[in-house]
């Protein structure tokens, strides 16, 4: 039997430790850490006497479950009265997995068509899944009008929704509505949910609500009707919410329960 001196034994233990560490490194290759759970915000944009910004909430697996807009209470004051305005909001980088590209807040001081329904002062909150260049190419003129009017395959149209003629808008496409919504049942328009289409494809989802409804400081969550077949390019909300945050004097307009199929 060979006896090792204390010095030799020390060297042997060091070599064994180094070998174990190297083997462990080979067995467990480095993995990039996922984005931590939490809430991430986009940059603010001035609206009225306040501001708006987007935000996304990630769960423990780094998956986005809520995407929304934070609109300060002051934004409801000092709004333009001489015509429609569009305010573009960028998304935080942590929202990339949702498939949404940007958000447009459209203020309509006199409402829009159809008369007697949506002709109240209101906001359209467009969550776009196409970029600005693609939006700018939508002219709804000539051949492009036919592309804007093109309905999706029936399985891709949300349950109960229809695509009426005359809802085509430049840089937006056509607007699909649910005829069963309250505003079409002789009830006052307060809030509703729109799907946007262009060339047979969903290009935005849109919570829409009146200034008066927002000013009432609501706290509601409403289910969103789904198509039979979902576009895999973006995450569909299963509900949308409108809430007033007293502590921060702001409203949150949210797409909730996001699922990417």
pLDDT of 128-147, one tens digit each? Answer: 999 999 999 999 999 999 99
Determine, yes or no, domain membership for 33. no
**Residue 173 pairs with which residues in a beta bridge?**
169
Determine, yes or no, domain membership for 9. no
Determine, yes or no, domain membership for 187. yes
Phi, psi of 240, rounded to the nearest 5 degrees: -130, 145
pLDDT at 29: 36
CA distance 232 to 235: 7
238: CB partners within 8 A, 6+ apart? 223, 224, 226, 256, 257, 258, 259
How many structural domains does the chain have? 1
As a whole number, the mean pLDDT across the chain is 90
pLDDT at 104: 98
Determine, yes or no, domain membership for 61. yes
Determine, yes or no, domain membership for 261. no
What DSSP string describes the chain?
-PPPPHHHHHHHHHHHHHHHHHHHHHHS---PPPPPSEEEE---EEETTEEEEEEEEE-TTS-EEEEEEEEEGGGGSS---SS-EEEEEEPPGGGGGG---EEEEEEETT--SSTTTS-SSEEEEEEESS-HHHHHT---STHHHHHHHPPPPGGGSPTT-B--TT--BTTTBEEEB-TTSGGGTTS---EEEEEEEETTEEEEEEEEEEHHHHHT--EEEEE----SS--TTSPBPSEEEEEEETTTTEEEEEEES-B--
Determine, yes or no, domain membership for 31. no
Here the tokens at position 77 are 């004051």
Note whether 50 and 71 are within 8 A (CB): yes
The 3-state secondary structure of 100-111, one letter per residue? CCEEEEEEECCC
pLDDT at 51: 98
Q: In which domain, by residue range, is 58 found? A: 38-256
Residue with tokens 């036919």: 146
Determine, yes or no, domain membership for 5. no
**pLDDT means over runs of 10, the chain (261 residues):** 44 39 38 76 98 97 96 98 97 97 98 95 98 98 97 98 96 98 97 98 98 98 98 98 98 98 92
CA distance 28 to 75: 51
pLDDT at 155: 98
Determine, yes or no, domain membership for 91. yes
């Amino acid at each position: 039997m060979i006896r090792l001196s204390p010095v030799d034994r020390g060297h042997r233990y060091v070599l064994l430790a180094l070998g174990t560490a190297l083997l462990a490194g080979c067995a467990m290759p480095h993995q990039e850490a996922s984005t931590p759970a939490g809430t991430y915000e986009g940059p603010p944009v001035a609206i009225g006497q306040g501001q708006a910004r987007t935000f996304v909430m990630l769960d423990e697996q780094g998956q986005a479950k809520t995407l929304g807009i934070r609109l300060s209470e002051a934004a409801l004051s000092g709004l333009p009265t001489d015509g429609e305005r569009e305010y573009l909001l960028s998304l935080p980088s942590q929202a990339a997995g949702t498939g949404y590209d940007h958000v447009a807040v459209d203020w309509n001081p006199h409402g829009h068509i159809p008369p007697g329904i949506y002709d109240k002062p209101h906001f359209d909150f467009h969550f776009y899944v196409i970029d600005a260049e693609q939006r700018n190419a939508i002219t709804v003129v000539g051949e492009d009008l036919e592309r804007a009017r093109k309905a999706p395959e029936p399985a891709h149209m949300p349950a109960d929704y229809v695509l009426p003629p005359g809802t085509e808008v430049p840089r937006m496409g056509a607007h699909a509505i649910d005829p069963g919504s309250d505003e079409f049942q002789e009830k006052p328009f307060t809030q509703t949910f729109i799907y946007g289409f262009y060339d047979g494809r969903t290009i935005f989802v849109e919570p829409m609500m009146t200034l008066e409804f927002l000013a009432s400081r609501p706290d509601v969550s409403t289910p969103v009707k789904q198509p039979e077949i979902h576009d895999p390019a973006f995450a569909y909300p299963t509900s949308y919410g409108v809430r007033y945050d007293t502590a921060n004097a702001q409203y949150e307009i949210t797409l909730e329960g996001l699922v990417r199929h």
